[in-house]
Every structure is written in structure tokens, then in C-alpha cells.
Structure 1
Amino acid sequence: MMTADWIPACAASETVAAYRPVEYRVKLATDGWELREALALRRAVFCAEQRLFNFTDADDIDEAGALTLVAVSCIHSMAEDVVGTVRVHALGNGVWQGSRLAVRRDYRGQAWLGSELIHLAVSLAHARGATRFLAQVQQQNVALFERLHWRAIEAIELRGRPHMRMEADLAHYPPCTTFELGFLTTLRSAA
């Protein structure tokens, strides 16, 4: 006979790891829900978490038609949640810029999600005629960008925080013309 306070020995010491999908699609946001979730993720990261903005980080760049890319978690290849985002836009004369790179806090252990978003952003711009691709990178992320073949141009301060203006080496980012579909990537350990 078991009593209410009986707990199997194995259950008392087991911890269950949080579920993580094993597939992610990194792509251009083409559906309304993807855009809504990307903006919500940006608000969570840049407004609530980092307190860089009060209520929204949306600006004239969004209004002018910046392209939003997303990393979407998938279950059996079916889209589930937006877990990362970045936006890209043309500045003119072949110069493009990426900004608002954000990965959901509980997915940051998969450092490669940010890398995959960066890769698609630069490759998309390259396919659309970019001769230069720039970003204003928060200081804590400079090493990641350097590993991805970016070079520092100058240290700057934005919204009271140290940033580095950086430029991608386009030779490492072949043009991608299938950015609406993007690419499917699978879970791997953080580097």
C-alpha cells in the first residue's frame, strides 16, 4: 500500500530539461503572425529587458519598409514560435544595414540562432545588390561578429551604451535569393 508521501527515489532526484525544438527555419517574415511576434520579441528585448526604449523600438526605418527576418522554431517542420529576429534595409548606393538583432532569452544558449540570422541578413542584402553591409553592434556582441567575418570600423555610443560600427566581409556571405523560404537548421550545441 502506498501513502501520499511516498515518492519513488528516482523521481525525487530527477530534473527535467526544458523542451527545445530541434528544427528552426530562418527566413524572411512573410506572415502577419511572424511580423507581430518579431515586434513583440524586439519590445521584450530592447524595451523590457535592456530598457533602451520606453514602449516600443519601432521607428522610421520600420515605417520605410525595412525587411524583417525571423528564426522560427518548428515541430515536425511546422512553424511554432518566433525565437529570433533582425531587420535589414538599404541605405542607398549599395550600402545596407542590419539592426535590432534579438534572440528570445530562453533561446540564447543556442548562440548560433543569432549567427544564422546575421548570415541570412547579409546574404539577402548581397543578393539585392549590397556592396557594403553595416551594423551598429552592442559591445558585448562584437566578438561574435568578428568570428563571423566582420571588422570593427569605429566605437560609438547609442542610447547611452557602447556600440561598435562594424562591416561584414561580403566574400563570406554568398547571395541568397531564396530568403522567403530561408533555410532549415537543426539544434546544435552552443559554441
Structure 2
Amino acid sequence: MSFQSPSVFLSPDFIIRAAAQSWELDGIKALRRQVFVEEQGIFQTHDRDAIDAIAMPLAAISTIASEADQVVGTVRIHEETPRLWRGSRLAVAKSHRRMGQLGAELIRLAVCTAHGRGCDRFLAQVQMQNVTLFKRLHWAPLREIEVHGVPHMEMEANLTAYPAILDPFMGWKSLPPRRRRAA
């Protein structure tokens, strides 16, 4: 008799919403540390900065049996000056990067939320490997820059592609993309 260890189960269902509960905020801190400190080595011990005090954290939360389980993606947004908003610290857990489109869903929630709060212009400093994704999501490159020693592209969202969301805490459920049936 042969025994195989079971594969790790990754739920294909997610909730995309603004984070408010303490476990969600703790999950966001842990994920950002995992991605920006441990994985990418951009920061020494943590990536927190003054923007965290004013930013709205958004989260992609995996679910099990339709119940929130763990934070597997995040981004933060803030109003830099009146009507000019920025997104930053977009991160998706390594285990979930190929599941659905969590990064795209977080970007959509970020821009739609800012748009719903009076945003006229939404900018982000995007790591170069993610520029293609942002272009597909109706963002325009503005200029190449360096942030924390890493090449980035300053990009601007086309707000007409992002309808306003007034309550980001309601969020939405994100399901896996449908698979094509063989013909």
C-alpha cells in the first residue's frame, strides 16, 4: 500500500474588500513582510512607513466554506493631495499568484474606491515586472523611476475604466475564471 501526502488545499474563492478587522490588518502586515522583506529583500525588517497611518488597506481574503480564512493579497490607497490618490504596496501571496486574478481585483477595488471618494487622478509606482498587467487594466506609463533601489514605472489609471465604489467594505466575491470546455 502506498500513501501520498495530500496536497495543500487552496480555495479558489476570495473576498475582495477594504480591511478593518484586526486579524485582516495583521494578515496584511504579515503578507507585506513576506513579500517585501523576505521574498524581494527590498526592506530589512518591515515595509511600514508614514503612509500606513493615513492609507486605506484593501485585502483579498481566501475563503473556506464561504467563510473568511486568510489574507492572501493586499494594496493600500491614500489621498496624497486633494483629488490625487495613490496606490502602493500591492502584494499577493506566492501561493496564490496563479489563482484567478487577485492582483487585478485589488487594483480594480483600489481605483474604484478612490474614484468614489472624489479622485480625479490615480497614480502608482509599479515594479517593472507588473507594467504589462497594469497596461491591460487601462493604465498609462508616465516615466521610469527608482523606488527603494528597485526600478519602477510611474503609472496613471484611466478613471473612465473604473466606476466609483462608495462602500469598499462591502467588497465582492471573486470566483476563479471559467475554464474552457474541450470542443
Task: Give the TM interval when normalised to the shorter protein.
Answer: over 0.9
TM, length-normalised to structure 2? 0.93
Find the partner of 2:123 among 95, 118, 134: 134
Find the partner of 1:46 among 36, 39, 64: 36
Q: Which residue of structure 2 aligns with residue 28 of structure 1?
A: 18
Q: CA deviation at 1:77?
A: 1.8
- Per-residue CA deviations over 1:44-70 (Å, capped at 9, x if unaligned) read 10011111111110001012x200000
Q: CA deviation at 1:30?
A: 1.2
Aligned to 2:62, the other structure's residue is in SS state strand
Aligned to 1:110, the other structure's residue is in SS state coil
Aligned to 1:91, the other structure's residue is in SS state strand
Q: Which residue of structure 1 aligns with residue 76 of structure 2?
A: 87
Find the partner of 2:159 among 170, 173, 186: 170
Count how many residue pairs are aligned between Structure 1 and Structure 2. Answer: 179
Q: CA deviation at 1:164?
A: 0.1
- Per-residue CA deviations over 1:117-169 (Å, capped at 9, x if unaligned) read 00000000000000000000000000000000000000001122110000000
Find the partner of 1:74 among 41, 60, 63: 63
Find the partner of 1:117 among 106, 119, 136: 106
The 2-side partners of 1:123 and 1:189 are apart by 24
Matched-pair contact (CA < 8 Å) for 2:12–2:99: no
**Larger Rg, first or second structure (1 or 2):** 1
TM, length-normalised to structure 1? 0.89
Q: CA deviation at 1:76?
A: 2.2
Gaps of 5+ in 2: none
102-111 vs 38-47, which deviates more?
Answer: 102-111
Q: Which residue of structure 2 aligns with residue 3 of structure 1?
A: none
User: 2:50 aligned with 1:60, yes or no?
Assistant: yes
Q: CA deviation at 1:177?
A: 1.3
The 1-side partners of 2:111 and 2:66 are apart by 25
The 1-side partners of 2:100 and 2:74 are apart by 13
The 2-side partners of 1:129 and 1:61 are apart by 19
Alignment RMSD: 1.7
Distance 1:111 1:22, change over 3 A: closer
Displacement over 6 Å in runs of 4+: none
Amino acid at match of 1:26: I
User: 2:94 aligned with 1:102, yes or no?
Assistant: no
The 2-side partners of 1:189 and 1:98 are apart by 29
The 2-side partners of 1:171 and 1:17 are apart by 42
Identity across matched positions, percent: 45
Q: CA deviation at 1:19?
A: 1.5
